[in-house]
Amino acid sequence: VNKFRIPLLTLAAFVGVAGFYIIHKKEIESPKKTQHAASSSFTNQKETLSNQTSEEFVTTSSGLQYRILNEGSGDDSPGPESVVSVHYRGKLTNGLEFDSSYKRNQPASFPVNGVIRGWTEALQLMKEGDKWELIIPPDLGYGSKGAGNIIPPDSTLIFEVELIEIK
């Protein structure tokens, strides 16, 4: 009986180690698949945007993209503390419109530094009367938190913004 004890213990240990390895290998591979899925989703979002972006768009050092739809006649740009009045339309990269001051027939007024970073940056580059299309990456928008049930986490946002007045 003793001569079978060591081989049986060795076999049991081997089976235990092999089982542990197989179980943990699946756990280790799962995050890679999740990362790949997230990466794939981001890649698809980038591909969608690359179809929209062209030479007309300017990309700032932060990653904000904009193109001028209509050039206004104003000479001044707002500062970070300025209060502005704007008309805007916001949508996701899949085309879903999530907000529009045009639909409410009421421009929005707010301090330039009181909105998402992409807007704050863009508004300070705009002149009164300008109408721009913005492509705002997640880190300049709502980031990993998203916004309510409407804007998912890590969403790239597309806005049409018309700077009506610097107050």
pLDDT at 27: 40
Q: Which of 42, 160, 28, 147 is nearest to 95 (CA)?
A: 160
The catalytic residue among 88, 135, 154, 158 is 88
pLDDT at 106: 97
pLDDT-based confidence at 14, cuts 50/70/90?
very low
Q: Give the tens place of pLDDT for each residue, 134-151.
A: 999 999 999 999 999 999
Does residue 21 have an active-site annotation? no
Place of tokens 């990269």: 93
CA–CA separation, 136 and 52 (whole Å): 13
pLDDT-based confidence at 49, cuts 50/70/90?
low
Does residue 142 have an active-site annotation? yes
Q: Give the tens place of pLDDT for each residue, 63-116.
A: 999 999 999 999 999 999 999 999 999 999 999 999 999 999 999 999 999 999
Does residue 14 have an active-site annotation? no
